[in-house]
Structures are given as structure tokens and as C-alpha cells.
Structure 1
């Protein structure tokens, strides 16, 4: 077995698409209409275009437990997921210049450096650099 898809719940797929492509640099891979204004919308990393696809999942709009879970994570300040970074400090500076809001500045924690930002779509995302 292998991981091919990873879902991130988003409240607005179009807003999420803009954030994840324009700010974070992901590349749109699939964009198929599903009806009811929903889309099968996936992104990939530019460094690993054949790697796992990130699904911008509209679940919070249609499944209340997903919305409750997403809200609870945000309220507690917990990241929904994490992305690897080769240089958290450089990514932090680049994203700050693009207007991305961070709740945690780059911080060393043992063998890693982490930072946490708001994806504007209901999630905290952590970026991690192995030291």
C-alpha cells in the first residue's frame, strides 16, 4: 500500500485553491465538477508532481462532524496537518511577505524547526524542517 491522497477540509474550495497555489506554490492536478458547486480538486507539490495529491475537501460544508472537528482544532491552535520544508525560516519570511498569518514563528523543538500558519480556509498548517 501507499498514500496517494491526503484530504484537507476547506470551507471554500475556490479560496483554498488560490491560497494553496498562489501563496504556497502547489500545482493544480485535477479539477472535476461533482455537482452542487463541489469539485474533485487536487493539488501536488511542484517538487514531487507524481507524489501524493492534496484534496481540497468541502466536507465541513456538508458533514457537521467535520466542521465541529475543524473548528475545535482551530480553537485549540492545533495544526490540521504538516508540510515538510527545507528551510522553515526562509519559507516563513516568504509567506509573511505574501500576507500569510502565522500563529507560531519558526521555533526549534529538539531535532526540528516548526512554524504554524492559518490557511484562511479553517485550518492551521505546520511547516517542519528537520535539523
Structure 2
């Protein structure tokens, strides 16, 4: 069996992304290493032991590969990653109350309800809840 162990999101600033993904979205820090020269290696994951073997690497978004990719996603208003939630309305209200900007509020899309938020570090992130 093959399972996802780590995936990454390119961000404008790793330290700012770490603060947003932990303090606002509620992820927990899995790794936080200073590699020297201002380079950080930071991963986060779902809190409270949910998905203990899955990490999200907050990766510096500068460079010849990351910058065009991120720009194209942003211009097309596409999310770079999708997170599932149990109650999208509650998350929308909670995050809106914390000042998070949602270019797309909750809306039904076939078998799911989705919303898109701005992660403040260069990306759109989609939240999804299965209907039912």
C-alpha cells in the first residue's frame, strides 16, 4: 500500500505561513527546523492526532519553478490545496470572525459544499465538506 506522507504548499514567507496555518487554521507543528541562512523547514498537520502520518511542508515560494506555478494558480483563481472539514458553515463563520478573507463563501457543488479562502501567503485554499 502506498500512502501520502508529505505534500507541500509554496508560500511567500514560511514563518508567516506557519503562524497562519497553526494559529488561524488550527494545524499543529510537526517539524520546525532552522537550516541556517534564514532557511526554515516547517511542516504542519491536522491537530489532535488526526492523520498523524500526513504532513504539509510550507515551502518557500520563490524560484523559477514555484513563482510561475503560483502566479498561474492565483490568476486562474484556483486553490493550491484542498482541506476537508466536518462543518463548512461553522469553519466559515469561525475563520471569517478571525479576519480570513473568502473570495468564495460556502456553495454547493454536486455532492460537496466548498469554500475558498486566501491563506495570506500567496495562495487560495479550498475547504470541502461532503453532503449527507
TM over 0.5: yes
1:20-72 CA distance string (max 9 Å, x none): 011100001101122321111011101415130010001x22x2221111011
Question: 1:45·1:51 contact (CA, 8 Å) conserved in 2?
Answer: no
More displaced 10-residue stretch of structure 1: 35-44 or 105-114 = 35-44
4+ residue segments displaced more than 2 Å: none
1:43-102 CA distance string (max 9 Å, x none): 1101415130010001x22x2221111011111110001000101111000000000000
Q: What's the C-alpha RMSD, in Å, of the aligned pairs?
A: 1.0
Matched, 1:40 2:37: no
1:14 is paired with a residue of what secondary structure? Answer: helix
CA distance in 1, matches of 2:10, 2:34: 17
Aligned pairs for 1:85-124 within 5 A:
85-124=85-124
Aligned pairs, number: 129
Q: TM-score, normalised by structure 1?
A: 0.94
Question: 1:44·1:52 contact (CA, 8 Å) conserved in 2?
Answer: yes
Any gaps of 5 or more consecutive residues in structure 2?
none
Going by fraction, where is helix more abundant, 1 or 2? 1
- Name the counterpart of 2:12: 11
